[in-house]
A and B are shown apart, each in its own frame.
Chain A
């Protein structure tokens, strides 16, 4: 990582308000409801996650981080689930052969959902306590996006007249 990239300081648990903690926890728990609702069409939960992110984005970096974190972690799981639905329908309409590849894929989908489920609960509990929690890969990406100092953050907005 480049050294000239700086990050906003992380809030310590005692600095995070109860409201922020609950909103951050909600980012994970809300995904479960959406994931279940989105089961026949596993893309619905992604839409719900994006909506949640935009609603809560401006509340605080802590909430923004957890919403992003949850959303990113959900993308591969959703893609896996969607793949399973499509593959399953194709199998049903073409031939009913359960190939080894399909079995393997079902295994991956089950494991991915389980891992996602378990780690989301852990993350929700941590968020409720005002703690940060980083998933492999997604934690880093979400942290970078939520906490990296961007140029526009450092410069105070200035009103200028239109160019004539």
Chain B
């Protein structure tokens, strides 16, 4: 009997220790909770200034395109409801298929990606995915991990250059990508955009890899694209779901973008 009692005591103490240790917040949460959204947005603004100096990220100023992106953004934000971030979508002139999120809700989309999208819904899917990274604070966490919080906040010019390079180049890990996809699929559904557009866009990207090759950048460098396509295809929309097309003249927008390239 005593042996049984001792055994139970040991099991109970192990369980208690287990439980207590799960309560310790991870260093990631610690650093992130220290960094306020306002600070992140401040950093994001500085980085946007920095990144514009890079000829590869020359921002496009085009009224047609801006209003189109605004329409897409509003559709998504309306579906998202509340968010602490002030989103801004910047198109930049680069034939590579690329999209990435910078700290503070700034999302950059390349002209190459806009060209590849067959309809505005596909671009919305990409933007929704990037919003997923922002909302889950993946961007700022990646920077903290690779550069360090204290250095990040110095605002030094050299540092900013490095930060914008990291933000624009290195990929997220699989779990973060999956999380951003999950967020995007749900957001698309709420925005009355059929989540299947995500799969169709991914598939086109995969098919294009042969011809584009080096042009494929961050957005598709991460592995397991087939799994991601599958997840997007298998996403079950609510029975009451009805798709509403985004009213935009996509051909005209693509024309506007292609004129810039010439």
> A-side interface residues toward B, CB under 8 Å?
1, 76, 95-98, 100-101, 103-108, 111-112, 136-137, 140-141
Contacts of B21 in A (CB 8 A): 103-108
**Interface of chain A, helix or strand or loop or mixed?**
helix
| Other-chain contact of A95, B10, B17, B18, B173 (Cβ < 8 Å) | B173
Task: From the candidates A104, A140, A141, name the one contacting B18 in the complex (CB within 8 A).
Answer: A104
The distance in angstroms between the C-alpha atoms of A108 and B22, with both chains bound, is 10
Q: Name the CB-closest residue of A to B3.
A: A140
Given A95-B175, A137-B7, verify A103-B17 contact (CB < 8 Å).
Answer: no
Task: Report the number of A-B residue pairs with Cβ-Cβ less than 8 Å.
Answer: 52
Q: A75: shortest Cβ distance to chain B, in Å?
A: 12
User: How many residues of chain B get a CB closer than 8 Å to chain A's CBs?
Assistant: 20
Report A-chain residues with C-beta under 8 Å of the C-beta of B14.
108, 112
Residues of B within 8 A of A1 (CB): 1-2
Complex CA gap A1/B2 in Å reads 8
Give chain B's interface secondary structure class: helix
Contact A140 B2 (CB under 8 A): yes
Q: Which residue of chain B has its CB nearest to the CB of A141?
A: B3
Task: Give 6 A-B pairs besides A104-B21, A108-B21 with Cβ atoms closer than 8 angstroms.
Answer: A1-B2, A95-B174, A96-B173, A96-B175, A104-B17, A107-B24
21 A-B interface contacts by CB (under 8 A): A1-B1, A95-B173, A95-B175, A96-B173, A100-B22, A103-B26, A104-B17, A104-B20, A104-B22, A107-B21, A107-B22, A108-B17, A112-B14, A136-B9, A136-B10, A137-B3, A137-B6, A137-B7, A137-B10, A140-B2, A140-B6
Q: What's the least CB distance linking B177 to chain A, in Å? A: 10
The CA of A98 and the CA of B24, in the complex, are separated in Å by 12
| Known contacts A95-B173, A95-B175, A96-B173; A107 and B18 CB within 8 A of each other | yes
What is the minimal beta-carbon distance from A69 to any residue of chain B, in angstroms?
14
Contact B22 A101 (CB under 8 A): yes
> Chain B residues with Cβ under 8 A from A112's Cβ?
14
Looking across the interface, which residue of chain A has its beta carbon closest to that of B5? Answer: A137
Which residue from chain A places its CB closest to the CB of B178 in the assembled complex?
Answer: A95
Q: Which residue of A lies closest to B9 (CB)?
A: A136
